[in-house]
Structure 1
Amino acid sequence: MKDCRKALATAAGQHLFEVYTKELSQKSPTRDSAKSALCVPAFLREAFMLCWLMTIQDPPVVFDRLLQHGAKFNTELYRSYTKSGPLVDFPASFANVKFNEHTTLFHIIIYIIAFGCVTASPVLESRFVAEVDIPDLVLRLDANDVKLNALTKNLSDTVGQLATLTRSFNDLKAKVDHQPVAFKAHLASSGNLYITIGPNQRIIFDDVQLNLGNAYFQHLGGFLAPLSGTYMFSVSICSRTGHYIVLNLMKNNNRIGGVLAGDNALDDCSSETTVTQLNAGDQVYVQHHGIDGDMIFVHQNYINSFTGSLLQIL
């Protein structure tokens, strides 16, 4: 009978496990702590099979308290299936194991598996089982958790540093690989000697002489920054005798420079040069300052111009 039980141990244990889990899943809600074992089916099955095999091996391995070598074996509580008779052959105990409210199902399963692996090992052939220092095992597991958390944090920090280095590399590559950015545009005369300007009117410098990087749009009369950086801009404007004109150099909707040209006795020209920092997408253009002045002189001998260039990428 004993040999038959051992031969069919695995199949019988699997059947018992299925019955056990079925009954456990049907427990009332008041047994939620027991039903929580179903959340870890792989661990539960291994622990169950270890306990099952421990009861049918020769000699059997059982859980009891205060067992001593040679003491009477409680055959009513445990089926021994042994050749050694009704006496305890040897005890194997947890060393100073204490369960409290902080003990989790994970810890209990580790206790059972570790205990079963040791007591069911070939050491049984020598009729000796060493005590299992479970608290030390748990401490080592906790220490490994701390190390794993530290490694995870280090990995996260390394990924962050790598992302920063990647951005820095891309910025540096853009600085090295960028094409020159510069433009120069004149105000075409179209056969007229002067152009009358309305209030706050944008000045369209439509005769493009240079447009490296294609960032100046002649039909809009504006420059659109392709890269973030430091730029230099210059405006030259002329006014006829007895008239004057005031223009603003605009960055988006903000004034960053201005130029005034005009004289009562002579034709007059004036210019303004400024350096400013732009973000990619910022727009720079020239605009009439309110209603100050009325005329731009566009004689072919006078050059009204708007120029700009990228000095440095930021």
Structure 2
Amino acid sequence: MSSVPDQWHGYSFLESPQTRKAISVSALSWLVWDSILLCRREYESIWKRENSVVKAVYIFSKYVGLVAQTMNTIWTFDLLSREYLTPRLCRKWFGSQIGVIILLHAALQIILMLRVYALYDCKKPVGLFLLSLGIGEIASISFSSVYIVRGFHFHSTCLNANTPPAVVALIVVMAVVQIIVWGMTLFKQVDIPTRTRLLEVVGRDGAVACSVFVAIFATAVPYTFYVHTLTHSMFAIYMTLVIILTSRIILNMQGLRPLETQPAEIRSGGISLWCLDTTFDTINDGLDNISLEDISASEDTDTPPITPTTDSSEPRTM
């Protein structure tokens, strides 16, 4: 007997149970392979460091996300192997995936916004603005998701027969927030003419994150409204992308961290040695009263910048 119900014959290739299973396995395999590739960098930049907020965010995003993606793949094979799925069960399945995605997206936004906060010297108005922006986004996503899940009409293989209008509002909010965060990063790059490794890494990784979000939204929305409604496969793809983005952004920033044995004057002597942990650990102290403008101004003087005499690992590209 065919695994696709009679009423769904003729639907697109992407909506067949076999394809949906394959997409889930591919997304999980990609995540596992990326984790293997980053093992050494993770050990050096995360596990050998002292406990901090950045370490907690990394572990949560990486390993909670990995467990969630694994469970989602198992459920995909189990549920799509059944002859009939009730709308109630489908709604719980979709709701659990959306809940995990909200948490992982929040972790990524914490990293992106705290980097921008550091670029603006931990100024209180900027911090309050970013905090309000982040809380507003997560609240909007959570509120909209409830109506989205309730508005779904599922069929026997958990294919969604409609796309609630709240999906558009949700995507618009997420896109606007990403553009604002990236815009603030770009403005700081223009405002500080001196090119440093910090600005290069922040600018590059921020551009990649923004581009990924825009590409997903630009692809998913037209397909959902003008071709067929997307299945849960989009959740598996999005979850993997968010986990990989978060882990690689953190590791790239941690790669800027100088060795603990280096003198304090070397660690604070140039913006290129700034690291994400410094932002978290001294966030209430204003980054030890070191401002980006002061550092940039000092680099324009005739005094040569202080450079480390020991080897430090360069952050790798994403």
Normalising to structure 2: TM-score of the pair?
A: 0.22
Larger RCO (CA under 8 A, 6+ residues apart):
2
Considering fraction of residues, name the structure with more strand.
1
Structure of larger gyration radius:
1
Normalising to structure 1: TM-score of the pair?
A: 0.22
